[in-house]
Amino acid sequence: MDEDTANTGDDSSVGGNASSTRTDEPTPADADGLTDTEPTEFTSTDATSADDTDVDVDPENYGRDRSTTDVDLDGMVFDDETDDSKGLFDDLLSGEPIFENKEVLRPSYTPHELPHRNDQINQMATILVSALRGETPSNILIYGKTGTGKTASAKFVSQELESTSQKYDVPCEVEYINCEVTDTQYRVLAQLANKFIETNQDRIASDLERYRDLRSTASDDPAALDRSAFADLDDLDDRIATLEADADEMEEVPMTGWPTDRVYSTFFDAVDYRERVVVIMLDEIDKLVEKSGDDTLYNLSRMNSELDNSRISIMGISNDLKFTDFLDPRVKSSLGEEEIVFPPYDANQLRDILQHRADIAFKADALTDDVIPLCAAFAAQEHGDARRALDLLRTAGELAERSQAEIVGEKHVRQAQDKIELDRVVEVVRTLPTQSKIVLFAVILLEKNGVHNINTGEVFNIYKRLCEEIDADVLTQRRVTDLISELDMLGIVNAVVVSKGRYGRTKEMGLSVPVEETEAVLLSDSRLGDIENAQPFVQARFDN
């Protein structure tokens, strides 16, 4: 990806603002490309940059050299000719930029090198090479926790497979589907059907073009047919007519509305339209099974026995090691013909991965020596998640940039870790079910009133009051205890069971997340937001 795209990317933070500043002095950030992206308009700020030579200035109004003194206004506004009035973005753009190409640190970037994944990549290639020999590769299941490089490796292998198949002109195609997005049988089959219809149509269009050319040459010079597969012009005309009819017949599947078996048979016909080996990559396959069961996999895995011309092979990728427990045994054995495990990265491996990316992403010497090891160490604690490591590094760079530091240091990594952790908490809390939110709110109210070692009974009492306040169902204390355990597992509260001697046992807990931010997220929920002034009635409970 080039610098251009990097600067106009989706990011709204510092780097992404370069285009807003294009009327000012050129800066490193807008040096490339941006200056020719829009016609120069004259706004009042252009007066401050009248020495931009590439600006086609109307001499009557704006072409004044501001060093001349014949215009009073100039003399007033620019009494010091080196004074460039500072705009909103000037400070942010001054100083050396830290990033060379920030896109390289985003999840959407596919690296060309994947250190520490050679074994897995070779295993995949060894299985998939059959496709290039016209044989059907075994189905593959890939497992590993998030951020262990599954998607990146699979995409890398699929690019290599397709480019090699083009090189040797063997009919092999790879289709990648992310089942977190495409999460029902209908959508998976429709997406596949439409992709194959598209490749079929492209193929038909290019064949037709060739045959029509041949047709026109041959009508003048029948000898042209001698070198072709066609006996005579009629034969050629038949072929052209058949292709035209095929092209007309292929109807795209709408995104909803057809019965599933029609979608399936459309997909089936589209794949079988010509001879080829097709590898279907189903990424996040566990999400598909969780959401819509294993019908899709069942249907796909038994297709080969019915296809005449083509063969399909399935590569499933799962973050959940246990997801095959939910599969029909036939699907399970068919899908798991080959299994490849992606183990978590350790801190040293994460360092290598980060170092490779940092070399392209940052300006030379933009990082102190401890930045990469620290990012790697933090991410190693997060089950060896390379995505987390890259996020940390990028966020650290952004925070450094925002504070106008010259160079990214350990401090920025720690700030980045806090920021990412807080973002995670906010997201988890925001998506909690209402009942859990009420329980959590009760804990927060107690904590804000200085209660330490909060016990379940105390939480339950406040919880009941809150439920009455917003007309929510009141769960039993037992259920509330369960919800507290869930909050504990999510790392939002920290609960321990304590023995009260002959009074039995109780849970005591405290909040593990920042009070203010968490409370704000809870109150942004429309139902909890209705709670007005919770403070007094909590207070009242302590007073009496």
**Residues of this chain that bind Mg ion (CB under 5 A):** 150-151
151 contributes a contact to ligand ADP by CB under 6 A: yes
Position 117 contacts ligand ADP (CB under 6 A) = yes
Using CB under 6 A, which of the segments 112-120, 263-271, 500-508, 527-535 binds ligand ADP?
112-120
CB of 442 to Mg ion, least distance (A): 37
Q: Work out what residue 236 binds among ligand ADP, Mg ion, none; the CB cut-off runs from 5 to 8 Å by kind.
A: none
Q: Does 114 bind ligand ADP (CB under 6 A)?
A: yes
Q: What is the bridge-based pairing of β-strands 172-178 and 338-342?
A: unpaired
Structure tokens at 263: 């979608």
Q: List the single partner that 149 binds among Mg ion, ligand ADP, none, CB under 5 to 8 Å by kind.
A: ligand ADP
The residues near 382 (Cβ < 8 Å, ≥ 6 apart) are 147, 388
Phi-psi region of 253 (alpha: psi -120 to 50; beta: other; left: phi over 0): beta
- Which residue is closest to ligand ADP by CB? 149
**Contact status: 477 vs ligand ADP (CB under 6 A):** no
CB-based contact 360:100 (threshold 8 Å): yes
- Applying CB under 6 A, does 257 fall inside the site for ligand ADP? no
**Residues 396, 361, 164, CA angle at the centre, nearest 5°?**
135
- Binding partner of 116, given ligand ADP, Mg ion, none, CB within 5-8 angstroms per partner class: ligand ADP
CA distances from 176 to 27, 195, 266, 281, 315 (A): 40, 10, 19, 5, 9
Q: List the alpha helices (DSSP H) in 66-139.
A: 72-77, 90-93, 118-132
Q: Taking Cα atoms as reference points, which of 338, 336, 343, 370 lies closest to residue 354?
A: 370
Q: How far, in whole angstroms, is CA 244 from its chain's centroid?
A: 40
Instruction: Tell me how far, at minimum, the Cβ of 159 lies from ligand ADP, in Å.
Output: 13
Closer CB to ligand ADP, 117 or 287, in the complex: 117
| 343 near ligand ADP, judged by CB under 6 A | no
Span of 110-118, 188-196, 399-407, 512-520 interacting with ligand ADP by CB under 6 A: 110-118
Task: End-to-end CA distance of the chain: give it in Å, rounded.
Answer: 66
Among 22, 64, 66, 116, binds ligand ADP (CB under 6 A): 116
CB of 281 to ligand ADP, least distance (A): 11
Q: Which of 16, 26, 115, 293 binds ligand ADP (CB under 6 A)?
A: 115
Q: Is 297 in contact with 314 (CB distance < 8 Å)?
A: yes
Which CB sits closer to ligand ADP, 366 or 379?
A: 379
- Enumerate residues 381-400 that contact ligand ADP by CB under 6 A: 386-387, 390
Taking the C-alpha atoms of residue 50 and residue 392, their distance in angstroms, rounded to an integer, is 42
Q: How many CB atoms lie within 10 A of CB 342?
A: 20
Residue 501: its H or E element: none
DSSP 173: E
374 sits near ligand ADP (criterion: CB under 6 A): no
Strand-pair partners of 175: 280
Distance from C-alpha of 63 to C-alpha of 71, rounded to nearest angstrom:
12
Choose which of 147, 316, 344, 384 interacts with ligand ADP (CB under 6 A). Answer: 147
- Residue 122 has a CB neighbour count (10 Å cut-off) of 11
Q: Quick one: what does residue 147 bind among ligand ADP, Mg ion, none, with the CB cut-off 5 to 8 Å set by partner type?
A: ligand ADP
Stretch 353-372 residues interacting with ligand ADP (CB under 6 A)? 353
Instruction: State residue 535 phi and psi, 5-degree precision.
Output: -55, -50
150 versus 215: smaller Cβ distance to ligand ADP: 150
Q: How far is the CB of 152 from Mg ion (least distance, A)?
A: 8
| Candidate ranges 146-154, 166-174, 396-404, 432-440; the one touching ligand ADP (CB under 6 A) | 146-154
Q: Considering only residues 146, 228, 355, 512, which one is a binding residue for ligand ADP as defined by CB under 6 A?
A: 146
Residues that bind ligand ADP (CB under 6 A): 107, 111, 114-117, 144, 146-152, 353, 386-387, 390
